[in-house]
Amino acid sequence: MRLNPTRSFRLLAATAALLGMTVAGCSGWTGATPVTGVTPPTPTIQAPPARGPFVAAANPLAVEAGMRVLRDGGSAVDAAVAVQAVLGLVEPQSSGLGGGAFMMVYDAASNEVTSYDGRETAPAAATPELFHEDGRPLDFMSAVLSGRSTGAPGAVAMLAEAQKEHGRLPWSALFSDAERLATDGFVVSPRLAGMISGQAPQARTRWADAYFTKPDGTRYGAGDVLKNPAYARTVAELASGGAEVFYRGHIAREIADTVAQEPRPGALTAADIAAYAPVQRGALCRPYRIYVVCVPPPPSSGVAVLQLLAMAEQTPDIEQGPDSVAAWTAFAQLQRLMYADRDRYVGDPAFVGVPVQGLLDPGYVASRAALAPGLTGAAQPGTPPGGVLMGADATHEPSGTTHMVIVDAAGNAVSMTTTVESIFGSGRMAAGFFLNNQLTDFSFSPTRADGGAAANAVAAGKRPRSSMSPIIVLDQQGRLVGAFGSPG
């Protein structure tokens, strides 16, 4: 099969975008072939390494905050802290301090890729029937708007840990734009205005109404200036006191108090928030044609990205390119097979055995890809080597999230997907920011009819499976070629 680097790169981008819209290893890639016995094809065209500094994010105010940090000599991770702090203010419908994230960090000096898991965790009192009442699952929106939907936030702790390892500037220097914009006010973007005026129930809670309603009783619209003094105080405290003040002070108590309010109070406590810890993991890296693709391990869906790409390599119709109906049909069929496996096998690896190597086993991948041409009806999960089939999943997949890509002057890079889950999360606010509804990413039905457990069932301290799959792409020498990700 003739390799076409341009088409290969386009498929990588399409995979990142499609997974982000519908879902969303080796311990540090160091340039060696990441899979024993598999030699990637010799590239016919050498992809140039990526160069910075630049910031790509969903709002120009956040981009400017990140660029200011880079101009001041900060690293890509330093800039990510500043970008997230501003996005939580100006794009609160998608992400914020009350949410979680996955971050991929590329170190140009060592060619090493590291993943950081800032996924939220279920409270200690959570049970598999978290979203059940009277023996039946709640409807999805009732669950979202409840206090039960909020997990211990992870984005702040994750960023703090990554910044300790990869930062160049003081932590305290990374919040000035967010504090200024919250104090003086920021211009409401057309996108945020559309969310404020929309009919999403999370935009109509008592917390959202109090924040988004002007003194004359009308809602803030595009071009209006919106101030958030509570958020200004929060980021000022974060700047001076570090993540500790977020997780072990009055901010954590405010979050817990808000979660405990009606309707359907949740069980998240200040102690749950104080106990939160991010997880640093090795990146999951595999060759894809002339590239090496690195993703976060579970509970991210990065393994699903790699499985899809591996199946695509086994599918000749994909080579017909983005203008081909046959190529898109094949891609859709492969996605169906990938989702069938993801929903039965992927969950928090601290609680379930995720057969990562089995899902990426060349023989298993080939057998799954061979099913695509004749696939009709619902795709069924396979049996990867080392896999134990879990119960059927009943996880809802709402839209949401935001993504950023940052490359600094030294060539270090960040690919980070961050979210409060649904639009404005649970619709509840504390300390100036919206709280996540991330626990609705768990399966609402913890078991199947025969009693088999779902891989993504609720459990105390567990991270829900995530669709987020930020991607770092390297060449065969371990140099950065690109970074991908997608909002939901």
By annotation, the residues acting in catalysis are 401
What φ, ψ does residue 292 adopt, rounded to 5°? -120, 125
Write the DSSP symbol of residue 153: P
According to DSSP, the β-strands at 433-434 and 471-474 are unpaired
Cβ atoms of residues 486 and 21 within 8 Å: yes
Q: Say which amino acid occupies 152.
A: A
Count other C-beta atoms under 10 Å from residue 264's C-beta: 15
What is the C-alpha to C-alpha distance for residues 166 and 159, in angstroms, rounded to an integer?
10
Measure Cα distances from 62 to 80, 89, 181, 424 in Å.
9, 9, 10, 18
Torsion angle of C-alpha atoms 375, 378, 384, 388, degrees rounded to 10: -160
Cβ atoms of residues 201 and 112 within 8 Å: no
Cβ atoms of residues 432 and 440 within 8 Å: no
Of 400, 417, 396, which is closest to residue 343 (Cα–Cα)?
396
- The token pair at 84 is 């997230």
What φ, ψ does residue 125 adopt, rounded to 5°? -90, 0
